[in-house]
Amino acid sequence: MMNIILNNGIKMPLLGFGTYLLRDGSMCEQAVLHALNIGYRLIDTAAAYYNEESVGSAIKKSNVQREEIFVTTKFLPTNTGYKNAKHAAEASLKNLGLDYIDLYLIHLPQGDINSSWTAMEELYKEGKVRAIGVSNFNIKEVQNLIKQHRVVPAVNQVETHPFSQRAEMQQALKAQGIQLESWAPFAQGKKNLFNNELLKALSDKYNKSIAQLVLRWLIQKEVVAIPKSANVKRITENFNVFDFELSSEDMTTIKSLDNGRGLIYHV
């Protein structure tokens, strides 16, 4: 597994497993368990996904040591504010059945962000979370947070895929020591991504699926990706992206697909 080092020195896998919309308890548990058993070490969930208990159960049933697994969760936008953020973290720890969370995120830039961040800084200092970050924040929102607090976010998780490549955002975040993470790496199939002619030609060239091509592209851009699937074959396929490398020319070719903004969440 390839890792990046966050701004506080901890390692985070570049490829993880997302659990958005995996709300069926058994289905979610089995998907996460399979992901862990084949080598995924980053598991992404959220209070809003209503599957933290299933994720925690899969972690407990796996043969993987807890310290080898990087667990991300996020708190609901309705739980912003100092006390709410603290209570939300405790609830997530209980649901997951864990002693600590590896990465804790503000899910959306809504509500009392500053008080929430103060609570998260305390959780970080207490060791209940190993890193803190944000999700769906634009650059201005990230910069405002940095100006008012001591701990710089470790991660900004934003919709990132070939049609919304976030090159300027990634550069700005990197200047602040913040890691860009992609949710919806396949754009949720929008704009007919899985039949895109340019991506299809490249996938044929490398003898890989379009999904594998996109994940490899993100990895080479040093963007963390968290593809989601309930299909065992696809979960396995999405993990098999470390045996090939895109040329610099092909990386440049994919730039032509960028629309400059999100298709799902307009940050």
Interval 225-250: pLDDT, tens: 999 999 999 999 999 999 999 999 99
From 40, 49, 124, 265, active-site residue:
49
DSSP alpha helix (H) spans, 97-207:
113-126, 139-148, 167-175, 197-206
CB neighbour class for 89 (10 Å; exposed up to 12, middle 13-18, buried from 19): buried
pLDDT at 142: 98
User: Which residues have a Cβ under 8 Å from the Cβ of 43 and sit 6 or more positions away?
Assistant: 16, 17, 19, 32, 35, 36, 55, 58, 59, 69, 70, 71, 72
Q: What is the pLDDT of residue 42?
A: 98
Given the structure tokens 């634009």, which residue do they identify? 138
Annotated binding-site residue? 87: no
49 labelled catalytic: yes
Architecture of domain 3-257: Alpha-Beta Barrel (3.20)
Spans of the chain, pLDDT less than 50: none
pLDDT at 25: 87
